[in-house]
Amino acid sequence: ETGVTQTPRHLVMGMTNKKSLKCEQHLGHNAMYWYKQSAKKPLELMFVYNFKEQTENNSVPSRFSPECPNSSHLFLHLHTLQPEDSALYLCASSQGDLPYEQYFGPGTRLTVT
Amino acid sequence: GENVEQHPSTLSVQEGDSAVIKCTYSDSASNYFPWYKQELGKGPQLIIDIRSNVGEKKDQRIAVTLNKTAKHFSLHITETQPEDSAVYFCAGFYSGGGADGLTFGKGTHLIIQP
């Protein structure tokens, strides 16, 4: 098991719902990431936070809203999603001064109905 | 930005044989290349990585080689075992233009036949 946990592990939501994904890292890292993993596509980087500051927003639609209250917690707030947003959402963390070695959580399997 | 191509998409080998997965990258500025293993229902797990100042790195049954001139790197697994069955992802780290992060290949589904 890695030191990165994600909740919930599974989520089904309607297009008009609002929900949040949570990630927590117990590794003492300073950078956290959200990735989207869809079938038949490479992992896509969504957001990067380094020392709680957002340093990357990879052209993600505004219906996805990240929040990083401290270096151990990361949230992804979801609202008015589309069915094509159904995917596995993965959180990762790394040392702030070593962005290379990223450690992933188990992911949240999201289904939008 | 970076583009990473990975081949093959599926690889089936007999238990005990070797497996090789290959990746190419487009940006010569990329300087870090990790490999991840993802089992069903789990997140990707970092298994080995290599930096651009090194040509080869080994860790027990797994090794990674890097050819900077040709811009390709490979994962080698020797004496394969059933627990090696998983999806393997290569990645390249790109830094510049305001975009720092890993660009992943599409993955290789490795199947170890008993």
Per-chain mean pLDDT for chain B? 91
Please indicate whether, in this complex, the C-beta atoms of B101 and A100 are within 8 angstroms of each other.
Answer: no
Q: pLDDT tens-digit profile of A73-82? A: 999 999 999 9
User: How far from B9 is each of A15, A91, B13, B75, CA to CA, in Å?
Assistant: 33, 24, 13, 14
A88: pLDDT strictly greater than 60: yes
A16: pLDDT strictly greater than 70: yes
User: At A2, is the pLDDT very low, low, confident or very high (cuts 50, 70, 90)?
Assistant: low
- Report whether A15 contacts A2 (CB < 8 A): no
CA angle A32, A108, A42 (to 5 degrees): 70
Please indicate whether, in this complex, the C-beta atoms of B89 and A43 are within 8 angstroms of each other.
Answer: yes
Q: In this predicted structure, what is the pLDDT of residue A42? A: 85
B98: pLDDT strictly greater than 50: no
Distance CA B107, CA A89 (A): 17
Q: Is the minimum CB–CB distance between A58 and chain B shorter than 8 Å?
A: yes
Q: In chain B, which residues have their Cβ closer than 8 Å to the Cβ of A100? A: 32, 34, 49, 51, 93
Of B41, B45, B42, B40, the C-alpha closest to B91 is B45
User: At B100, is the pLDDT very low, low, confident or very high (cuts 50, 70, 90)?
Assistant: low
User: Which position has the higher pLDDT, A87 or A42?
Assistant: A87
Query: Beta-carbon neighbour count of residue A7 at 10 Å?
Result: 13
Q: pLDDT tens-digit profile of B9-50? A: 999 999 999 999 999 999 888 888 999 999 998 999 999 999
- Report whether A9 contacts A89 (CB < 8 A): no
Q: Is the minimum CB–CB distance between B40 and chain A shorter than 8 Å?
A: no
Alpha carbons within 13 angstroms on the beta-carbon side of residue B89 total 22
A1: pLDDT strictly greater than 60: no
Q: In this predicted structure, what is the pLDDT of residue B96? A: 58
